[in-house]
Amino acid sequence: MTFKRILAITLIFFIGAAGWFVLGQVNWVRSHDTSSMLSASVQSLWGAPIIQHAPKLTVKVPGTERKRHIFPTRNQIRADIKLEQRRKGLVWYPTYTVDFTAVYKVTNEARIAQDIRLNFQLPSKQATYENVVLKIGNKTESFSASTGYGFQRIIPLSPQGSEIVEMHYQTRGVGSWLYKLGTASGRVSGLDVVVTTNFDTVDFIEASLSPMQTKTTETGLAIHWQANELITSQDIGIELPQKLNPGPLAARMSFFAPVCLLFFFVLITAICITRKIDIHPMHYLFVNAGFFAFHLLFAYTIDLINVHLAFAIASIVSVTIVVSYLSSALGEAFPWKIAAVGQLVYLILFSYSFFVTGMTGLTVTIASIVTLAVLMQITSKTNWAKVFTRHVATQG
């Protein structure tokens, strides 16, 4: 193999890499521009990430105009979250409904009667709330509430007296659910939070409180936080599962494509050297184009059909045109079955590893080691000096 031929093949490889870089950038811009434009639309229709604050309880300091905060002696929270993935453009959004119930015990620990001012803030001014119920003791309160200011009530309590306050509503959100314990002192009493879901995989919001127990149920998960007395600066929250987004997936696969092509080029070169098949740089150019066809077809069919179906169609098309071309161009001496297996591993398997989070690096590592071992075995008896000398003589 002459220096000019090696240089030509290298140039073809870098031309292909440049094409994939451009395609990856196009996919990235398409998906992220679409995401930024549609996020506001999705949130206006379905709500924003829900952040529910614990109620604020204050009492007036006798003889002054100042107020001091008191904290519930019992905090029982129940949130039933139902996930429903919704797609707009190239992006999936984890939308959900939440059925929220909170029960608080408000205690007057003073030796005099006090009026406790309750302020319960709703998560968002723009959200819509259904089945809203506010109970103080056994009495269901009638109210005119504002989504901006929530509910405000005065709870008169006798010395050492206590009252149960219950709040319930249903609303919708996107992406995450967070309950802020809302205590400046960091102390929470009688904490009992249970979040139930209709999905069985969950991530917890960064720097949030880890659950004490997580159980699998018939429909999903039951996640439990419980403590009699807790001192913490952390809140309680979960991230809902994010479905695989086809736009960013296509971009990552395009950026990674030159690695797939490099492996295949090495395989084809080794086959042609050991089988003494003359292969021209133009053959490499058409193989490059066949690989590029896979990513191009996949990128522009995921808008229209299921991402797995788009992947299957692009795979069949690419493998068919590359293997049939090599078989036809290089003749019967070329082992097209080995080329087909190589493309299935280096292009299809490598690309499909992006569907499973964290598997791409391991897949490439294993395939690299196996490829190295196979190539070392099949070329172990090759006289490389004679190979290059033969090609030089042929070119001369």
389: its two tokens = 């000398």
Residue type for 208, please?
A: S
Residue type for 358, please?
A: G
Q: Specify the length of the chain in residues.
A: 396
Q: What is the pLDDT along the chain (396 residues), one digit of tens a residue?
A: 567 888 888 999 999 999 999 998 888 877 766 555 556 666 667 778 899 998 888 888 777 778 888 888 899 999 999 999 887 766 788 899 999 999 999 888 888 888 888 888 888 777 788 888 888 888 887 666 566 667 888 888 888 888 899 999 999 999 899 999 875 556 788 999 999 999 988 889 888 898 999 999 988 999 999 989 888 888 999 999 888 778 888 888 999 999 999 989 988 888 887 778 888 889 999 999 999 999 999 988 887 888 899 999 999 999 999 999 998 888 888 888 888 988 998 899 888 888 887 777 788 788 888 878 877 777 777 666 666 665 444 444
Q: Is 153 left (phi over 0), alpha (psi -120 to 50) or beta?
A: beta
Domain definitions of the chain by residue range: 3-32+245-395, 47-239
Give the CA dihedral 271, 276, 281, 283, nearest 10 degrees: -60
Q: How do beta strands 176-180 and 236-239 pair?
A: antiparallel
**Residue 395: what pLDDT?**
47
pTM of the model: 0.70
Side-chain-side CA neighbours of 260 within 13 Å: the count stands at 32
What is the topology classification, in CATH, of domain 47-239? Immunoglobulin-like (2.60.40)
Could you give the CA distance from residue 220 to residue 372 in angstroms, rounded to a whole number?
44
Sequence-distant (6+) residues with CB within 8 A of 181 are 54, 75, 188, 191, 232, 234, 235, 236
112: its two tokens = 């005099």
Could you give the CA distance from residue 193 to residue 72 in angstroms, rounded to a whole number?
14
371: its two tokens = 């490829």
Q: Are 166 and 133 in contact (CB under 8 A)?
A: yes
**Residue 234: what pLDDT?**
87
Residue type for 95, please?
A: T
User: Helices 246-274 and 3-46: crossing angle, nearest 10°?
Assistant: 160
Q: Are 22 and 16 in contact (CB under 8 A)?
A: no
Q: In what order do the strands lie in the sheet with 203-204?
A: 50-53, 176-180, 236-239, 203-204
Q: Are 317 and 294 in contact (CB under 8 A)?
A: yes
3-state secondary structure of 314: helix
3-state secondary structure of 184: coil
**Residue 37: what pLDDT?**
57
Could you give the CA distance from residue 214 to residue 196 in angstroms, rounded to a whole number?
10
User: Within the chain, what is the greatest distance between any pair of CA atoms?
Assistant: 109
250: its two tokens = 């296509």
Q: How many CB atoms lie within 10 A of CB 353?
A: 19
Could you give the CA distance from residue 68 to residue 108 in angstroms, rounded to a whole number?
13
267: its two tokens = 């395989």
**Residue 314: what pLDDT?**
94
Q: How many CB atoms lie within 10 A of CB 221?
A: 20
Q: What is the mean pLDDT of the chain?
A: 84
